[in-house]
């Protein structure tokens, strides 16, 4: 649920629920009071306590009148009684000879005066009384004789409406407090369950991530709105951070492997160069022929080191996407003819048979960086030469028509690659046979660089191989079309 919606619901719950509940409670209390009144004035413990107190006062007053009727002429005494009755929602009325002698509440007296019982007609005792229906007054009556012989009647009136209203007020106040507390508790629990608990869980998750624990999964039940979005963002962040950590660990492992391989690959030619130089200095190469052989070997080893360092530089550029391309419109036939002339001469000096076939129309063109594409060809052929194991070495290069693409195939008759390794040879630092490759040199990054360059040309590359028979590299580059490229 969205936070905005939750806030609206919270406001409505806090504002309306207590109001509605209090109206309902008020109606129920009124109904209860009406029923109590209709059932003979049974207003519960609150009214019972008042009636008991009124009966105590009534009994005390009657006893004092019997003992000394002149007390009814003591205005101070009557005022005290009236004050005590007022605290019980009642009043005191004294009638003498049909006339009002004393009252503690003129309004209540005016309401009931005409209907008060006559002297000697309806005297009541403690525990009993007269109920004036609509006026809702509860009456105690006691007849007596004043010292001067006048007929007197004492009335004690209790206003049931006042008692009921007082009870209703107390009940409403208590009900209001309870309703507000219950509403607050329910709204707080609802918001805690829907917002505070998820936020606390999310905070724990972020703490775990901060401490490097990317496996801490937050359990949630498909929350929606902003909270659900936060959970999804956390999970996405966690997964990405974990992937980055795994990738960094893998990269670090490969970098260590690269450093180890490069150290070995540099150490091998340096050791050879050092040995041949010592041979020359020690006079082992005593003839011009031997000296020339030693020097040529030293030169070849230096060339191998230079190639390795160039490969590392290119790898660094690939890693940081800093390969600078100079794309040109190239005629396929002319470009590959120049490449083959250079490659063929090198193959001849190495004693490797080189075959070249081009089946494309002479005007076929591509958009490519000539220098980077030459690196691809040289790298693939160099890789083939490295793993030649046949007495009769052969490398074939074919440039074929693939419809909208040109297809270049470079095939050798070397050792080949196992089926399990063929899909991984383009991974950086991957070596299908570490012992063999280390012995023959190579950092394991050459084919990954080739793959990167071909993909940057909008093409793709793959390999096929048969173990013990040879390997064929295939790559595809789209043709240049005037109507597309203008």
- pLDDT (tens digit per residue) in 62-89: 999 989 989 998 999 999 998 888 887 7
pLDDT, one tens digit per residue, over 229-257 is: 787 887 888 888 888 888 888 778 777 77
Rg, Å, the chain Cα set: 55
Q: Which residues pair with 330 in a beta bridge?
A: 366
Residues 6+ apart with CB under 8 A from 182: none
> 406: part of which helix (H) or strand (E)?
strand 405-412
> Within 10 Å of residue 161's Cβ, how many Cβ atoms?
14
- Distance, in Å, from the CA atom of 163 to the CA atom of 44, rounded to the nearest integer, reads 11
- Distance, in Å, from the CA atom of 336 to the CA atom of 398, rounded to the nearest integer, reads 10
Tally of residues, the chain: 486
Q: 137 falls in which pLDDT band (50, 70, 90)?
A: low
The owner of tokens 């950086």 is 428
Burial class (CB in 10 A: 0-12, 13-18, 19+), 332: buried
Q: 449 falls in which pLDDT band (50, 70, 90)?
A: confident
Residues 6+ apart with CB under 8 A from 316: 322
> Which domains, and CATH codes, for the chain?
225-315 (1.10.287.130), 326-485 (3.30.565.10)
pLDDT of 168? 61
Written as six digits, the tokens of 345 are: 């001469």
| DSSP H helical ranges for 351-467 | 370-386, 419-422, 434-440, 446-456
Residues 6+ apart with CB under 8 A from 176: 18, 22
Q: Are 141 and 123 in contact (CB under 8 A)?
A: yes
pLDDT, one tens digit per residue, over 327-375 is: 999 999 999 999 988 888 888 888 899 999 999 999 999 999 999 999 8
pLDDT of 401? 93
pLDDT of 429? 64
Q: 435 falls in which pLDDT band (50, 70, 90)?
A: very low
Written as six digits, the tokens of 402 are: 């693939």
Which of 156, 155, 146, 147 is CA-nearest to residue 97? 146
pLDDT of 1? 60
Residue 211, classed as helix, strand or coil, is coil
Residue 427, classed as helix, strand or coil, is coil
> Within 10 Å of residue 216's Cβ, how many Cβ atoms?
14
pLDDT, one tens digit per residue, over 374-399 is: 989 988 998 888 888 888 999 999 99
pLDDT, one tens digit per residue, over 111-120 is: 888 888 888 8
Residue 209 Cα distances to 100, 220, 221, 222, 247, angstroms: 90, 17, 21, 21, 17
The one-character DSSP state at 192 is: I
> For all residues of the chain together, what is the average pLDDT?
80
Q: Which residues pair with 478 in a beta bridge?
A: 405
Residues 6+ apart with CB under 8 A from 160: 37, 41, 43, 47, 131, 136, 137, 138
pLDDT of 43? 44
Angle at 72 between CA 71 and CA 74, to 5 degrees: 65
> Within 10 Å of residue 72's Cβ, how many Cβ atoms?
23
pLDDT of 303? 84
pLDDT of 196? 73
- Distance, in Å, from the CA atom of 299 to the CA atom of 59, rounded to the nearest integer, reads 136
**Largest Cα–Cα distance in the chain?**
171
Residue 5 Cα distances to 183, 208, 243, 259, 392, angstroms: 18, 31, 36, 58, 80
The mean pLDDT of 225-230, rounded to a whole number, is 74
The mean pLDDT of 136-165, rounded to a whole number, is 78
pLDDT of 186? 81
The one-character DSSP state at 145 is: E
pLDDT, one tens digit per residue, over 33-61 is: 555 555 444 444 555 677 788 888 888 99
pLDDT of 129? 47
pLDDT of 9? 75
Q: Are 474 and 462 in contact (CB under 8 A)?
A: yes
Residue 129 Cα distances to 35, 74, 93, 158, 469, angstroms: 19, 26, 15, 10, 125
Q: Which residues pair with 356 in a beta bridge?
A: 397
């Amino acid at each position: 649920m969205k936070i905005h919606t939750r806030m609206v619901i919270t406001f409505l719950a806090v504002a309306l629920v207590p109001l509605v509940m209090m109206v309902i409670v008020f109606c129920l209390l009124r109904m209860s009071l009406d029923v109590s009144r209709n059932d003979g004035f049974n207003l519960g413990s609150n009214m019972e306590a008042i009636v008991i107190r009124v009966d105590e006062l009534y009994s005390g007053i009657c006893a004092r009148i019997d003992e000394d009727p002149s007390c009814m002429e003591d205005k101070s005494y009557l005022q005290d009684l009236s004050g005590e009755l007022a605290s019980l929602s009642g009043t005191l009325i004294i009638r003498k000879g049909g006339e009002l002698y004393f009252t503690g509440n003129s309004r209540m007296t005016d309401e009931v005066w005409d209907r008060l019982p006559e002297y000697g007609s309806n005297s009541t005792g403690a525990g009993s009384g007269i109920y004036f229906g609509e006026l809702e007054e509860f009456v105690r009556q006691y007849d007596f004789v004043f010292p001067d012989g006048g007929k007197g009647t004492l009335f004690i009136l209790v206003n049931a409406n006042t008692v009921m209203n007082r009870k209703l007020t107390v009940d409403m106040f208590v009900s209001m407090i309870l309703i507000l507390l219950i509403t607050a508790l329910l709204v707080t629990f609802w918001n805690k369950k829907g917002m505070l608990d998820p936020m606390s869980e999310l905070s724990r998750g972020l703490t775990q991530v901060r401490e490097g624990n990317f496996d801490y999964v937050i359990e949630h039940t498909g929350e929606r709105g902003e909270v659900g979005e936060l959970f999804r963002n956390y999970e996405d962040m966690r997964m990405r951070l974990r992937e980055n950590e795994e990738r960094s660990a893998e990269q670090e492992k490969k970098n260590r492997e690269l450093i180890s391989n490069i150290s070995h690959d540099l150490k091998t030619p340096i050791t050879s160069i050092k040995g041949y130089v010592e041979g020359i200095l020690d006079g082992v190469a005593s003839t011009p022929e031997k000296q020339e052989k030693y020097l040529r070997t030293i030169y070849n080893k230096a060339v191998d080191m230079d190639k390795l360092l160039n490969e590392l530089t290119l790898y660094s550029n690939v890693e940081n996407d800093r390969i600078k391309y100079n794309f040109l419109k190239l005629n396929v036939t002319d470009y590959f003819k120049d490449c083959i002339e250079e490659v063929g001469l090198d193959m001849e000096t190495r004693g490797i048979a080189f075959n070249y076939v081009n089946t494309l129309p002479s005007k076929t063109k591509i958009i490519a960086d000539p220098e980077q594409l030459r690196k691809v060809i040289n790298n693939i052929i160099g890789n083939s030469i490295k793993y030649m194991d046949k007495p009769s070495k052969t490398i074939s290069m074919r440039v074929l028509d693939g419809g909208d693409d040109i297809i270049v195939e470079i095939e050798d008759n070397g050792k080949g690659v196992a089926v399990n390794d063929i899909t991984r040879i383009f991974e950086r630092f991957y070596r299908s046979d570490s012992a063999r490759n280390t012995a023959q040199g190579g950092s394991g990054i050459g084919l990954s660089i080739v793959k990167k360059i071909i993909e940057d040309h909008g093409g793709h590359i793959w390999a096929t191989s048969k173990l013990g028979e040879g390997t064929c590299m295939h790559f595809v580059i789209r043709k240049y079309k005037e109507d597309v490229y203008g």
